[in-house]
Amino acid sequence: MQEKYKKLSVLIPVYNEKQTINECVKNVLNAKIFDMSLEVVISDNNSIDGTKEILKTITDPRVKILFQEKNKGKGSNIKNALSHASGDIILFQDGDLEYSPDDYENLLGPFFKNDADVVYGSRLTRAKTTRITGFPNFIGNKIITFTANLLYNKIFSDIATGYKLFKKDIIKNLNITSDGFEIEPEITAKISKIKKIKIFEVPIHIFSRDYDEGKKVKWWHFFTYLYHLIKWRFIS
């Protein structure tokens, strides 16, 4: 193992995840991450369902908990957590139970084996257990991923994945400006424009939520993705 990767920071942006946040944090804390140390940074986006009260009961010293006074959007929440992260590798983890921390060592592998700069966890390779989701979500992801590949000359299979990992210097130097869900295409666009960057994809387990289970991505976010992919293609 390369000694320069000593610490993993897991960023968990949350909003109204009362039903899942305890188990999510427990799973993250118990995840295998080779011999790296672990830092978990949770940023709550002014939840109103009791999530904040649950977070206040977490006492594990590996966990940092931040509270935003206003709901400023997913992007603002991620940026808040990122500003407090100190790990050599940064991992994005949603606060629900769609994504399994059991995949952490597979996701970390390319950093140690291939000196990767960025790793995306792909839900679409079907090499791992997958809960079948609705066709509109599937085809929407296919379209925005195809658009990203066309605009940025890449061969991603799943740019809308919730599992994204970065070398610390890569993500902290991106100058992210988005405060909402548009942070996702902004990040993909900006890393794709970095010359000679090494991006890998790894198949992951996924258990997709339905909207009645708290899924937050809406149909109109499809158009947000497309607009911002195109926008960032022509803005430096």
Starting at the edge strand found earlier in the chain, the sheet holding 37-44 runs: 63-67, 37-44, 7-14, 89-92, 164-167, 118-122, 199-203
Give residue-wise pLDDT tens across range 18-41: 999 999 999 999 999 999 999 999
pTM above 0.75, yes or no: yes
Pairing of strands 7-14, 37-44: parallel
In terms of Cβ atoms closer than 10 Å to its own Cβ (0-12, 13-18, 19+), residue 195 is exposed
- Model confidence at 140, in pLDDT bands (50, 70, 90)? confident
Give residue-wise pLDDT tens across range 163-211: 999 999 999 999 999 999 999 999 999 999 999 999 999 999 988 755 4
Q: Note the pLDDT of residue 138.
A: 66
Q: Is pLDDT at 47 greater than 90 in this prediction?
A: yes
- Model confidence at 161, in pLDDT bands (50, 70, 90)? very high
Give residue-wise pLDDT tens across range 57-109: 999 999 999 999 999 999 999 999 999 999 999 999 999 989 999 999 999 99
Phi-psi label, residue 130: left if phi above 0, alpha if psi -120 to 50, beta otherwise: beta
Residues 5 and 88 sit within 8 Å (Cβ to Cβ): yes
Q: Note the pLDDT of residue 218.
A: 59
CA distance 145 to 229: 10
Q: Note the pLDDT of residue 95.
A: 93
Q: Note the pLDDT of residue 129.
A: 44
- For the domain covering 7-233, report its CATH number: 3.90.550.10
Q: Note the pLDDT of residue 225.
A: 84
